[in-house]
């Protein structure tokens, strides 16, 4: 997503500096500020990464003010992991909420997923992965033109992975997104659904396992 400009709102240099460098290596343009007042006064950007523990204003207030004036996507990145803070942040208009410490690859995947959700879809709503076609509008999946009967959870897992093919989606993010933001059930549930999804799609390698991290949708090299 080259050309996408991010605003990092973080007062801790030890976090902000390496984060900005990493995101720039991923092709993003990065603007960094260290206070709530600077965030509110910053020029328009494509997405905001917002820490809640700021020296002047509470991050929740910054989130509210940004949302009042703009629909810019906001991802809260904070050490506050309480359910109350998550709920308040999302109700104030944040698009996602990540608790420190978090994996850099997962952050990049979430940025791309939020940008994809916010971007207008192309005229063709169908996404194609080899012989598989996924139509979000009609909630339909086909393999070589034949309908595949996926359960709602199987469809949601596939649709989530399809938001950024090739990017790893962590187990915790899938469980939070597809099941519940505070899923306390067995994580084996995800493995059962992925196994069933692979079987129904007829290609066990389409959904790849990244050991110790999560899953990703295989991206085939283009035919030359």
92 and 148 both lie in a single domain:
no
Query: pTM here?
Result: 0.58
Q: Which of 69, 102, 118 is a domain's end point? A: 118
Closest to 165 measured CA to CA, from 113, 106, 104, 96: 113
Say if residues 217 and 161 touch (Cβ distance below 8 Å).
Answer: yes
Q: Which of 77, 100, 118 is a domain's end point? A: 118
Task: Report pLDDT digits (tens) over 154-171.
Answer: 998 998 898 888 888 888
**CA gap 43, 35 in Å, rounded:** 14
Residues 6+ away with beta carbon under 8 Å from 30: 5, 6, 8, 20, 23, 24
Task: Report pLDDT digits (tens) over 5-30.
Answer: 999 999 999 999 999 999 999 889 99
133 and 108 both lie in a single domain:
no
Q: Which of 118, 138, 154 is a domain's end point? A: 118
């Amino acid at each position: 997503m080259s050309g996408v400009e991010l605003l990092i709102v973080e007062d801790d240099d030890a976090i902000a500096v390496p984060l900005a460098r990493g995101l720039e290596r991923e092709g993003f343009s990065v603007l960094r500020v260290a206070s709530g007042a600077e965030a509110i006064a910053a020029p328009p950007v494509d997405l905001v990464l917002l820490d809640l523990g700021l020296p002047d204003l509470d991050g929740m207030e910054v989130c509210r003010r940004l949302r009042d004036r703009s629909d810019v996507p906001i991802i809260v990145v904070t050490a506050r992991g309480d359910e109350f803070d998550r709920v308040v942040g999302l109700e104030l208009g944040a698009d996602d909420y990540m608790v420190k410490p978090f994996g850099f690859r997962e952050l990049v995947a979430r940025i791309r997923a939020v940008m994809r959700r916010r971007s207008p879809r192309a005229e063709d709503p169908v996404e194609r992965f080899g012989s598989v076609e996924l139509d979000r509008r009609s909630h339909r999946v086909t393999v070589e033109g034949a309908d595949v009967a996926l359960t709602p959870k199987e469809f949601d897992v596939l649709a989530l992975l399809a938001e950024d093919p090739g990017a790893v989606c962590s187990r915790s993010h899938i469980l939070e997104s597809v099941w519940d933001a505070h899923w306390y059930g067995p994580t084996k549930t995800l493995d059962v659904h992925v196994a069933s999804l692979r079987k129904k799609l007829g290609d066990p390698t389409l959904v790849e396992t990244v050991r110790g991290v999560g899953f990703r949708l295989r991206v085939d090299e283009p035919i030359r």
